[in-house]
Every structure is written in structure tokens, then in C-alpha cells.
Amino acid sequence: MFKELCIATAVIIILATSSYAMAKEGCGGVCTACHSLTEKEANEVIKKIGGTVTSVKQSPSKGLFELLVEKDGQKGILLLDYGKKHLIQGMVVDIETLQPASAHQQNVTQPKEPTSVDVTTIPVKNAVIMGNPKGSKKLYVFTDPDCPYCRKGHVELKKLAKIAPDVAIHIMLYPLPMHPAAYDKSRTVIETKDHDLLDKAFEGKDIAKPTSDASKKAIDEIVTFANANGISGTPTMVMPDGTIQVGMRDAETMKKMLEGK
């Protein structure tokens, strides 16, 4: 009986303490009291994808750090979870205003989205061509083998090649920094330009490592072109007239687009 009374008393004392009251607040309190990240630590986290973290702030969305990253003369935002295990590429949107919410909003200049490119400047010598290589209609697709949207789109491109026999689909392998393994996969595919290997890469299957320095140069040329022309995400399509279409469509829709319908 005395033992039970002691336990009950102890529980009452714990519940009454300010430390327990703070614990009830949990992450509803001030995040910086428990979670911090230095620029040095942040740079260590992103070293695999390159770039330099120049500023770290708490994201407007609790539970995330917001990193201001500079790479190749450009600035961008990455989000990092408090566990420092996952990077998120994208933006936080305020539900009320439906506008981007960023702790670094004033530090990042939003580039003007390009609407077209000169197709004669696309480094097509580095493309893997699906469909009819001699087709009169040419579609240029900037795509990443580790991008989930690109993987779905690749299935539609294979369908397009079957239903549009006069289309040459130029696959421009454009590995994004967020997918570090995609760079070597792209190099391996471009070394052989083998369609079976291309399919395996987009199916998420393991493929051999690259062996030629020439493939590095080829992929770098595609990346340089994309960056210089405002193509920053995958998949991105460039139509025969140079019009940029962000994202991909189903095969039937792409066929109609190429026919001008």
C-alpha cells in the first residue's frame, strides 16, 4: 500500500513540473530550442550532390531546415528534415494564399521561364534516338532515369514510337543533382546507345558502370545546354519548332501535339 502511494505521489509531482508541461508542447514550441543546423553541417549533408550552402534557416513549415544553395552561379532552395536524412527539392506553399513560402525568398531571384529554344543548338549528337531516326518530326526529351515522372513518361514514349512512325524521339539524358546515381547511369547508356540498356535504366534496374571519359563529356554537354536554356526540371519536352513543354503527356496526346492538333 505504501509502495503504491509513493508511486502515485511521484506521478502527481511529475505531472505538475514545468518540464513535463514543456514536453506536452512538443514541436508546437520554438523549434530552434531543440533543432539546429550549421552551414558546415549542411554542406557535409549535400556534398554528394555538389553546391555550397550559404545560409540555413528554419523553414516556414515546421520540421524542416531551409538551405540556400549556390551551384554553377545559380541559387536555389533545398529542404532538409530535422533527422538530417532526407533532402526535399521543391517549395513550401502557404495554403491560405497559395503562394510560395520561403525563409530565403528575398535571396532567390525567380528566373523568367523560357518558352522556346533554338533546336539547331541542341547537342543531338549525344542523344539516344527512339522511334524512326529518319522521321520528319523531331521531339527532344530531357529526362532523368531516376526521376519517377520520367520513368512513367518513358513508357509513353515507347508507345509513341509505335503509333507515330514518322517521329524521331531524341532522348537527352539529363541527370539532376538530386539523383546522384543517375549521372553514371546516363553515361553508361550513352556509351552504347543501346535501347535495352536504356529501358533497364528507366525500369530502375542495375546497369554496369561507365567506362569511357567521352560519355562524361557528352552528359556534361547536355547538362550545360539545359542550364543555359532554362531547362531545370525533368521531364521537359522540346517540340520540333523549339517550344518548351514542361512535363510529359500520354502517347496519344503527344502524337496530336506533334501533328499540331
Q: What is the SS3 string spanning the chain?
A: CHHHHHHHHHHHHHHHCHHHHHHHHHHHCCHHHCCCCCHHHHHHHCCCCCCEEEEEEECCCCCEEEEEEEECCEEEEEEEECCCCCEEECCCECCCCCCECCCCHHHCCCCCCCCECCHHHCCHHHCEEEECCCCCEEEEEEECCCCHHHHHHHHHHHHHHHHCCCEEEEEEECCCCCCHHHHHHHHHHHHHCCHHHHHHHHCCCCCCCCCCHHHHHHHHHHHHHHHHCCCCCCCEEECCCCEEEECCCCHHHHHHHHCCC
pLDDT at 61: 87
pLDDT at 98: 63
* Phi, psi values for residue 13, rounded to 5°: -65, -45
pTM comes to: 0.64
For residue 25, pLDDT beyond 70: no
pLDDT at 33: 62
pLDDT confidence tier of residue 112, bands split at 50, 70 and 90: low
pLDDT at 121: 97
pLDDT tens per residue across span 74-106: 778 889 999 888 888 767 877 777 667 888 877
pLDDT confidence tier of residue 9, bands split at 50, 70 and 90: very low
pLDDT at 15: 35
- Cell (9 digits) for 213: 571519359
First to last CA, the chain: 85
pLDDT at 145: 96
Q: Is the peptide bond before 177 cis (omega within 30 degrees of 0)?
A: no
33-107 sits in which CATH class? alpha beta
Arithmetic mean of pLDDT over the chain: 84
For residue 154, pLDDT beyond 60: yes
**Stretch 31-40: mean pLDDT:** 80
Taking a C-beta distance cutoff of 8 angstroms, is the pair 117, 78 a contact?
no
Which CATH number is correct for 119-258, 3.40.640.10, 3.40.30.10, 3.40.50.11290, 3.90.1150.10?
Answer: 3.40.30.10
Q: Is the model more confident about 87 or about 215?
A: 215
pLDDT confidence tier of residue 113, bands split at 50, 70 and 90: low
- Cell (9 digits) for 198: 536504356
Least reliable range by pLDDT among 6-20, 36-50, 147-161: 6-20
- Total count of residues recorded for the chain: 261
Domain boundaries, the chain: 33-107, 119-258
pLDDT at 35: 81
For residue 235, pLDDT beyond 80: yes
pLDDT at 208: 94
